[in-house]
Amino acid sequence: MREKKSTYTLEEAKRSLEKYCVYQDRCHQDIERKLIDMRMIPEAREIILLHLMEHDFLNEERFARNFARGKFNIKKWGLIRITNELKIREISAYNINAALSEIDDAEYEETLRELGKRKFFSTVEHVVLKKRKKVADYLLRRGFESPKVYALIRELEMENNSSK
């Protein structure tokens, strides 16, 4: 196991953070945290951040777009959850809007429908209100908008009742 260095020169820190950024897109907050862990002084932090941005190792718009695309495609998160996670990472509103534009509306609706349908028909609950609540909570936790969630639940209940 590699031991963590206690001090870094400016060049060592730059190289280390370049590798860190190449491995995966990072936001400014990740880099700041890493620089603090490396015990870099504020002036050095500023120089390193500027270097990373100038050489395109650190690009917040690219990070936001990749984050939104990945969380939607892989984890099936809704727009609200993605937006909140980006806000936690202190991403600007402009970059959040750019990131959300990466998600196709038709694909978004299809994902919501697929997740809702799967949860609705796998939930074994005899009391209708409890079943509605379980399905709604699941989809809301995933970050989908409440009007869309409740409309989908009504639609699924009508489908279910008509098939009986």
Do 149 and 136 meet the contact criterion of CB atoms below 8 Å apart?
yes
Q: d(Cα 77, Cα 143) in Å, to the nearest integer?
A: 6
Rounded CA gap, 5 and 118, in Å? 49
| Cα 13 → chain centroid | 27
pLDDT at 161: 81
Q: 94-116 pLDDT, tens per residue?
A: 999 999 999 999 999 999 999 99
Share of the chain above pLDDT 90, in %: 85
Can you spell out the DSSP letters for 145-163?
A: -HHHHHHHHHHHHHHHHHH
Are 111 and 76 a contacting pair, CB within 8 Å? yes
pTM for the full predicted model: 0.88
Residue 3, pLDDT score:
53
Task: Report the pLDDT averaged over residues 41-63.
Answer: 94
Q: What pLDDT score does 162 carry? A: 80
Q: Are the C-beta atoms of residues 17 and 34 closer than 8 Å to each other?
A: yes
Q: Which of 79, 134, 68, 154 is nearest to 109 (CA)?
A: 79
pLDDT digits (tens, 9 = 90+) for 111-150: 999 999 999 999 998 899 999 999 999 999 999 999 999 9
CA–CA separation, 104 vs 106, rounded Å? 6
**Contact of 40 with 8, CB cutoff 8 Å:** yes
pLDDT of residue 164: 60
Residue in 16, 102, 19 with CA at minimum distance from that of residue 66: 102
